[in-house]
Amino acid sequence: MKNYLNFEAEIKSLEDELDKVKDPYNQEGLSEVNTNKISEIQSQIDEKLNKVYSNLDPWQTVMVARHEDRPKSKFFIQNLFEDFIPLSGDRFYGEDKSVLAGFAKFNGDSVLVIGQEKGEDLNSRIERNFGMMRPEGYRKTIRLMKLADKFNIPIILFIDTPGAYPGVGAEQRGQAEAIAKSIECCMNLSVPTISIIIGEGGSGGAVALASSNKILMLQNAIYSVISPEGCATILWRDPKKTLEAATAMKLSAKDLLNLKIIDEIIVEPIGGAHRDKDLILQNVRVSIKNNLSEFIGMSKEEVIDHRKNKFLSIGRNQGFIKQKLDKDTLSMSQNFLDIIKLKIIDFKNQIIIGSIILILLISIFYSF
């Protein structure tokens, strides 16, 4: 059974009609399949899909990213990699089933694969905690990333989470600390890391596994600091203003590529990744292969510098302060006018301080 979003009503009607025409024993009693009619309806469906999905607004993109039929991390791991060996436990508390992790082969080479998993049906979603990781999940990934780093094995991460689990137990076991440690671990790895946002990339729960050399996004995925519903509730006191919130947050792949927060958009089939899973598999496979090849021949120091430069560059040209990035020292250099302004301000401050000291000395002198 297909699941449709509220803006796909016309597409649903056409596909229901197509199913009836394909059935030789439908309610109209037809005994032959009308191939011309099938081709005509299929053309209408393709045209409607193109029209709808080429003009998605930000909130509709959020809905597609959350689509229950959308391929999950487990699907990509099972179909992109060979000889996957799942590993469990953080060696501190226990196992977190909301994240899959283990070593596998990709194009004959060893990789560590990590994927946040939401689940496919109600029971599996409850078991996977809807993709919301607990502290033990982050500590498990830290343990395995350090192991991969030790043996010089690249890391592939699939991001799909509404956010880290905010439960009392998770907070008591150090949720914030676990996320911070995960980010720190990712930034210090000396092996290439590639993060792929396949659905939702929610808040620190996603950033903890997305501090990578390369951040890729499926075309209809999202990546944001908070959900549009949460943003609308905070800013407008109205959770229904999801479109305004989603637009302001610039959470789509296209917006994030323009802001240079991500590195590449992986094209999805028209109608979303769930409509042609073979095609999205092929697109993801090619993207992973191409991005891994960029790090062939790089030293460990060059891999680390590549990652640090990437994050230090974010927002420098379009952010709060316009300054040039010194890529050799990873520090900020100032242009000539900025230096002159700072020297003038510093000179004024020295005059003011000197005047205050002089006045105090004169006052002390005359008091005697």
Q: Is the pLDDT of residue 86 over 70?
A: yes
Confidence (pLDDT) at 177: 95
Can you name the CATH fold of 64-313? 2-enoyl-CoA Hydratase; Chain A, domain 1 (3.90.226)
The Cβ of residue 120 has, within 10 Å, a number of other Cβ atoms equal to 15
**Each residue's pLDDT tens digit, 244-282:** 999 999 999 999 999 999 999 999 999 999 999 999 999
DSSP assignment letter at 270: T
Residue 91 φ/ψ region, left for φ over 0, alpha for ψ in the -120 to 50 degree band, beta for the rest:
left
Instruction: Dihedral sign for Cα 65, 70, 72, 76, please.
Output: negative
Residue 320's pLDDT band, with cuts at 50, 70 and 90, is very low
Residue 31's pLDDT band, with cuts at 50, 70 and 90, is low
Upper half-sphere CA count for residue 88 (Cβ side, 13 Å): 5
Residue 215's pLDDT band, with cuts at 50, 70 and 90, is very high
Closest CA to 200 of 246, 139, 264: 246
**Each residue's pLDDT tens digit, 155-187:** 999 999 999 999 999 999 999 999 999 999 999
Q: Is the pLDDT of residue 107 over 90?
A: yes
Task: Kindly report the average pLDDT of the chain as a whole number.
Answer: 88
- Runs of H (alpha helix) within the chain: 9-22, 35-53, 58-65, 73-80, 122-127, 135-150, 168-172, 175-188, 203-207, 228-236, 242-249, 253-258, 277-293, 300-313, 336-367
The Cβ of residue 190 has, within 10 Å, a number of other Cβ atoms equal to 15
- Is there a contact between 206 and 253 (Cβ–Cβ < 8 Å)? no
Confidence (pLDDT) at 304: 94
| Alpha-carbon radius of gyration of the chain | 27
The Cβ of residue 268 has, within 10 Å, a number of other Cβ atoms equal to 23
Confidence (pLDDT) at 349: 84
